Amino acid sequence: MADLQQTADAGREPDNYRSAERRTLLVRIAFLSALALLAGIGTLSYYVVRGNAERVAWVDHTYDVIRATNKLVMDHKDAAADARGFMLTGDTLFVDPYHAATAAIPADLDRLAALIQDNPIEVKRVADLKTVSASRLLALDKMLEEKHPPASLLGPELTAQLLQSKRSLDDLSDITDAMVAEEDQLLADRRDRATNGGRLTLWVMTIGDSISLAVLLACLWLLTSELRSRRRAEARARLLNASLTEHNALLEFSNRELEGFSYSISHDLRSPLRAIDGFSELLERRYAGQMDAEGLRLLGVVRDSSRRMAVLIDDLLEFSRLGRRPLQLGDVEMRPLVEECLAEVLRDNPWRPVIAVGELPPCRGDRSLIRQACINLIGNAVKYSSRNPEARVEILGRVEQGESIYTVRDNGVGFDMQYYDKLFGVFQRLHAEEDFPGTGVGLAIAMRIITKHGGRMWADAAPGKGATFHFSLPSQEGRR
């Protein structure tokens, strides 16, 4: 069940990965667009604030114009009042203030002109003002120079002069009133424009801010959900890891159990087996004379079987000992090792296959164990090619991706790949023992030795066409 679950999870993994990629992209886009929106609103706000500052300046300007206009009117009125006072009283007390007021007027005009020079209508009005103001001042000056005796002399001439003075002051007032009205109108226009623009700005800012807020909130939600799913995945991975570790520990335990079991089995079986073998031999020695041929044959079967069992037990013992023995790692020169193996395999061998040994790269491992594996593989190649009158055994090597890979090939009976999964099992045989003797532990031992080194072992074959066995071991360069 747990395995199925794991497989299903593993199958979903790429999908999860792709959707996570998509989510990340989405968050990135959303975040960037929110940022762009905020930047736009910021720019807009900048211009709005700057526009406001300009408007404030314009309002100030309008008030400046109005103030300057009023000052001009006031100075004219002062001058007129002083002139009138002097003419009524003849008192020179009025002369000084009169001069002060008239002296201020050109300056007032200049200031006004400077203030309104951007407005053509007002420029024209100021020009009119200058004319009116100049002629009025001229008239006032003339009135004073004539030095009329005070009070008694309110004759028709003076009355006319006074009336004219009043008229010209009215003209002046009309112009300045128009100017002030113009400025007021401008101010009102500007205020309207500002109000409308401000309302639009407010809308844009409110909507833009709301959108970017929503987008950012969506980002936040996406990110938190991403974080949550990641945390869940981590928890799941941790759980899987833990169960894997547990499985490994169990596996290791049962492996060790199995090794201990096979060891004690083979150990404890030896004693009764020795008794069977020994006592049947004693029986044969002492009572052979009293048995007929069939009795002797039966006894022979007992002895043969017990001997076979003894060999099986010794092989099993050897196999179980492999697991208990720690590796003694060193650099292994394979060529002399293979030559030793060949010598040992061929020593008691009546037939002589052609042997071809190619380049053999060195490897790293436990020399005596690797030697055992090589003896088993080469022994098999020699054994299973013995029926071929042109028997040939090749031993080759190469280095591939940090591994030394060795190949033992024969042109013997081979085997059907259909039974491949039985090939490396303990006591598994693909040929009858009558044809090729052996207990079927040799390949299992070789496989065990190679896997113990972290290497791999595989084979290919076809019936009647020979078999090829490959195994890999860490190469010397590949080691850390």
Partner 1 sequence: MSEYKQVEILYAEDNPSDAELTLYTLKTRNIANNIVWVRDGVEVLEFVKYRGRYANRSEGMPKMILLDLKMPKMDGIDVLRALKADEATRGIPVVIMTSSHEESDLVRSYKLGVNSYIVKPVDFDNFAKMVTEVGLYWMLSNKTPT
Enumerate binding residues for partner 1 (CB under 8 A).
267-268, 270-275, 277-279, 281-282, 306-307, 310, 313-314, 317, 321
CB of residue 309 vs partner 1: minimum separation in angstroms? 8
Q: How far is the CB of 260 from partner 1 (least distance, A)?
A: 11
Place of tokens 């799913």: 229
Q: Which residue has the tokens 């041929």?
A: 293
Distance in angstroms (rounded) separating the CA atoms of residues 193 and 196: 5
Q: Which is nearer to partner 1, 171 or 284 (CB)?
A: 284
Q: How far is the CB of 271 from partner 1 (least distance, A)?
A: 6
**Residues with Cβ < 8 Å from 203, sequence gap 6 or more?**
none
CA nearest neighbour of 189 among 181, 177, 201: 181
Q: Nearer to partner 1 by C-beta: 278 or 464?
A: 278
CB of 376 to partner 1, least distance (A): 20
- Angle at alpha carbon of residue 169, lines to 166 and 171, rounded to 5°: 115
Q: How far is CA 366 from the centre of its chain?
A: 44
Please measure the distance between the N-terminal and C-terminal CA atoms of the chain and give it in whole angstroms.
39
Please name the amino acid found at residue 232. Answer: R
Q: How far is the CB of 321 from partner 1 (least distance, A)?
A: 7
Residue 326: CB minimum distance to partner 1, A: 11
Cβ proximity to partner 1: between 279 and 427 the closer is 279
Rounded least distance, CB 267 to partner 1, Å: 6
User: Contact 130/109 with Cβ under 8 angstroms?
Assistant: yes
**Cβ partners under 8 Å of residue 409, min gap 6:** 381, 393, 394, 395, 396, 466, 467, 468, 469
354-357 β-sheet, strand order = 354-357, 392-400, 403-410, 467-474, 457-461
In the bound state with partner 1, the residue whose beta carbon lies nearer, of 168 and 306, is: 306
Based on CB atoms, which residue is closest to partner 1, 62 or 320?
320
> Rounded distance, CA 20 to CA 223, Å?
11
Size of the chain in residues: 480
Q: At its nearest, how many Å lie between partner 1 and the CB of residue 366?
A: 16
Smallest gap from Cβ 288 to partner 1, in A, equals: 15
Question: Which element (helix H / strand E) includes 405?
Answer: strand 403-410
| Cβ-contact 163, 80 below 8 angstroms | no
Compare residues 273 and 459 and give the one whose CB is closer to partner 1: 273
Of 192, 206, 179, which is closest to residue 55 (Cα–Cα)? Answer: 192
Residue nearer to partner 1 on the CB measure, 141 or 314: 314
Nearest to partner 1 of 313, 334 (CB atom): 313
What's the burial of 392, exposed, middle or buried (CB within 10 Å: 0-12/13-18/19+)?
middle
Q: Which helix (H) or strand (E) holds 364?
A: strand 363-365
Residue with smaller CB distance to partner 1, 152 or 271: 271
The nearest distance, CB 346 to partner 1, in angstroms, is 24
Give whichever of 65 and 313 is closer to partner 1, judged by the CB atom. 313
Query: For residues 250 and 301, which CB has a smaller minimum distance to partner 1 in the complex?
Result: 301
Residue 10 C-beta: closest distance to partner 1, Å: 43
Strand bridging mode 467-474 / 457-461? antiparallel
Question: Burial level of 93, CB count in 10 A (0-12/13-18/19+)?
Answer: exposed
